[in-house]
Chains A and B, each alone.
Chain A
Amino acid sequence: MEPTQGISRRALLSWIGKTAGAVAMYQAMTSLGFAAESSFDSNNYELSGAPKGSSVLILGGGLAGMTAAYELRKAGYKVKILEFNPKAGGRCWTLRGGDKYTELGGHTQECKFDEGQYLNPGPWRIPYHHHAVLHYCKQFDVKLEVFNQVNHNAYFHSTKAFDGKPKRYREVQADFQGHIAELLSKCVDQKGLDQAMTKQDTERLLLVMREWGALNGDNEYVKGVESSLMRGFDVQPGGGLMPVEQYSQPIDRQELLNSSLWKHLHYGQAFEYQSTLFQPVGGMDMIAKAFEKEVGSLIRYNSKVTKIDQDDNGVTVNYVDSQNPGETMTETADWCVCTIPLSILGQIPSTFSNKMTSAIRAVPYDSSVKVGLQFKRRFWEEDEHIYGGVSYTDMPIELISYPSTDYHSSGKGVLLGGYLWDENSYEFTSMTPDMRVKKALEYGSKIHPQYMDEFDNGISVAWHRVPWVNGCYGMWTPETREAHYNNLCEIDGRIVLAGEHASYIPAWMEGAILSSLDAIKRLHQHALDSSKQNA
């Protein structure tokens, strides 16, 4: 039976449905991967007993390639890595003061950050459940610190709501919960849910709603001590004869719904971004450097692969020096682990089966842009009391992330001033690096008016213009997974592929490492089987 007065159950469910449905849709559209716990088995990944004298050539010195090199060498293989860049790490990358970066198209940026400041253009967070990344961090003694994802004092901002003035996360969260709780408790009071619930259940639900939603004694979400304890006070409780505390006014229910600000609440609640997240102290490439310390002696840097050939006897790879392309050099091995991004691999003449070739060509690479901005002082901390975390906006920059390091220190700080996807990412990719920084400043100053006065310098990375990857990460769809994923991962003759593109955790370092561990386990077994047959 529908209640005859007040809020109807249908209206309530439709309100919740509208918001929850939109959140689910938004999440499905923006989420990079499939939030599954990593299946890293720390007791059962090591390999041993390589067939005597066998060799493996590894293409690409990113995390997948260096994981393969480290484990395969331990197993007894003769290992060599060809890496395009003059350094290892691939997309596990950090820009610091003094670094020069030339993107495709020829624009060179020199990073002018102060010492200790940095931008991670690629991966920047490590979820607590990315067990393989954490395993190697511990093994190689990479010092970690907590990455602050959710900050209740950071902002949600929309150009179309509240005259473009940002709201604090805590205000939106408290008011969103409070209004839902009030609606639901009214519904219960009107016996709208009686058919489904016993009297005892109803009372329990009312109690839950009162606590969860910070309702007052009349089950209302209104200005008062309960709501202020969640959303914050206009005047905070003080000492002595200081002004008496003042409660804050919740945002009107309809206005909040129309603002769409609640859309941003789900980010920190998704499995991938839940506490605890980590970052390496000093920059993400500390992980790359730690791997490089182990396997650096196996790497031939500045090597641009130009041809991959294989037959019954082995693998032959042609390459040129990427800094001074001259004569073609050749490397041969019994086996090959190829971690070259598919966007690049698809352009290299190679001897692969037809189904492997089709799989390599089936995965487009996504667009993404990051902008790092150094400011003369940490005004977000000093003026606005935001320590780490992320503010979200409907402007093209999408978010501003505050540094999760050196909290409360004097001096300069670097913000992630934009992390763009989709349409705006393509547009920013098409800009000159200077224009990207300028636009990020223009937009960001609508949230932080201090921007223009405090700006020091900036740098940007548009992933489609990164010379060694031509994109951000491999974009699979359910259809392309069905048609090509297994073919891509299976050993093709003497070559197996690895990297985030050969994983169900695309764009994450965990995907790259797990893919590599799985690939070399199968390759090792295959090598053992082959050597038995030949014996």
Chain B
Amino acid sequence: MKTLTRLALALGVSSLVSMPLVAGTPTVSESSTFEQTSGEDLYNSICQGCHMEGGKGADSGAGYYPALANNPKLAAPGYPIYVLTNGLGGMPSFKRYLSDEQIMEVVNYVRTNFGNDYQQKATLEDVKMMTNR
């Protein structure tokens, strides 16, 4: 039993991952670091908090969260990589939370979903140029 738990932790398996993923459903990391690896899982579990399901953003409050759906600012991969790495205005930087691989995966996910269809993939090198690590 103990061995199994340790194995599960080593593989970064959280309790929810074993359940079928419903669209938009976040997963919970249990190791004090984001365990999600796919762009979709990362989006659902982090970005969706503000940019909402389907990347539709929010504008019903005193301020707003920009929609990522149909967003021409995502055309060049450098822009979303920059924003994730450095933060922007009220949005915190995610550099200390995410690996370069995770940044690449989630950037490519938002650039090919929610009505965006930018086929030029962000590469790990693109991300590393921005994160300097």
Contacts and interface: CB of A to CB of B under 8 A. Distances in A.
Interface stretch (A169-177, A427-435, A509-517): A427-435
A426 B62 contact: no
Question: Which secondary structure dominates chain A's binding surface?
Answer: loop
Interface in B1-53: 25-30, 32-34, 44-50, 52-53
Given A396-B28, A423-B97, A426-B45, A347 B63 contact: yes
Contacts of B64: 347
A468 B60 CA distance: 10
Nearest to B96: A422
A394 B31 CA distance: 9
A343 B61 CA distance: 12
A423 B89 CA distance: 20
Nearest to B24: A430
A347 B61 CA distance: 12
A254 to B, nearest CB: 17
Size category of the A interface is 35 or more
B27 A105 contact: no
A106 interface: yes
Contacts of B53: 105
B115 interface: no
Contacts of B93: 364
Nearest to B9: A160
A365 B92 contact: yes
Given A364-B90, A439-B28, A471-B90, A427 B62 contact: no
Contacts, number: 107
B26 A427 contact: yes
A435 B33 CA distance: 20
Contacts of B34: 423
A470 B90 contact: yes
B111 to A, nearest CB: 19
Interface in A462-516: 462, 464-471, 475
Contacts of A106: 60
A426 B49 contact: yes
B65 interface: yes
A430 B29 CA distance: 13
A464 B50 contact: yes
A376 B80 CA distance: 47
B91 interface: yes
A321 interface: no
A343 B49 contact: no
A465 B92 contact: no
A430 B62 contact: no
A465 B34 CA distance: 20
Size category of the B interface is 20 to 34
A84 B57 CA distance: 20
B45 A104 contact: no
A84 B91 CA distance: 21
A419 to B, nearest CB: 15
> Which of A361, A424, A430 gathers the greatest number of chain B CB atoms within 10 Å?
A430
B87 interface: yes
A443 B126 CA distance: 39
Contact of A470 (B45, B48, B65): B65
Nearest to B58: A104
B63 A343 contact: yes
Nearest to A303: B62
Given A104-B60, A347-B63, A430-B44, A423 B92 contact: no
A429 B49 contact: yes
A467 to B, nearest CB: 3
Contacts of B50: 104, 429, 464-465, 470
A430 B92 contact: no
A347 B28 contact: no
B61 A427 contact: no
A465 B51 CA distance: 10
Contacts of B29: 396, 423-424, 427
Interface string A325-341: 00000000000000011
Interface string A292-336: 000000000000110000000000000000100000000000000
A367 interface: yes
Contact of A159 (B25, B28, B30): B30
A206 interface: no
A225 interface: no
A462 B89 CA distance: 19
A367 B60 contact: no
A373 B65 CA distance: 29
B61 A467 contact: yes
A142 interface: no
Given A105-B58, A468-B61, A462 B90 contact: no
Nearest to A346: B89
Given A395-B30, A423-B33, A430-B44, A340 B62 contact: yes
Contacts of B62: 84, 304-305, 322, 340, 344, 467-470
B98 to A, nearest CB: 10
Interface in A91-132: 104-106
Interface in A10-66: none
Nearest to B91: A364
Contacts of B47: 430
Nearest to B34: A423
A424 B28 contact: yes
B92 A343 contact: no
A342 B62 CA distance: 11
10 contacts: A104-B58, A104-B65, A105-B53, A364-B89, A367-B92, A429-B49, A429-B50, A430-B48, A465-B49, A468-B61
Interface of A: 84, 104-106, 159, 304-305, 322, 340-344, 346-348, 361, 363-367, 394-396, 422-424, 426-431, 435, 439, 462, 464-471, 475
Shortest beta-carbon contacts, A-B, top 9: A343-B90, A467-B61, A429-B49, A344-B63, A364-B92, A430-B26, A430-B48, A104-B58, A430-B49
Interface of B: 25-30, 32-34, 44-50, 52-53, 58, 60-65, 87, 89-93, 97
